[in-house]
Amino acid sequence: MEIYHQQEDITVFGVHVKTFPNGIKEAFDQLVKEFGKDGSYYGISWMEESNQVKYYAMVPEVYKGEANKYHYEKLIVSKGEYRTETIYNWLNKVDSIKDVFNRLMPDRSPDKDRPCVEWYKSDDEMLCMVKA
């Protein structure tokens, strides 16, 4: 585990995956089709009081206000310190992502103010992030 310092808030926008865990790939495929393969993508999730996982497939704003142009939901990856772990070759390790998050937050469940953040930097590298 490493500490990552997110220097500024990042506005992200995208799709709520209401059928979690089913539908995640299709949601990201939809975003990639619209916004291209280059660049980062984010998966953001937390546990609702009803014990249901809320999951969003998101793309970061390229310029301020871009999210307002689209009819997607908008969230913020807030600045601050995050406990992180990098997963390389993540496409072949999708089933292990939940285990990484369990290590990063052993004493609590994620909530909307402290969600689990998956930062997909490339097809090979993904950073799992939990607010410290």
Map out the domains of the chain as residue ranges.
2-131
Q: pLDDT tens across 58-98, in order?
A: 999 999 889 888 889 999 999 999 999 999 999 888 888 88
| DSSP character at residue 52 | P
Please, are residues 83 and 130 in contact by the beta-carbon 8 Å criterion? yes
Percent of the chain residues topping a pLDDT of 70: 99
3-class secondary structure per residue, 65-95 = CHHHHCCCEEEEECCEEEEEEEEECHHHCHH
Q: What is the pTM of this model?
A: 0.92
- We find that the CATH architecture of domain 2-131 is Alpha-Beta Barrel (3.20)
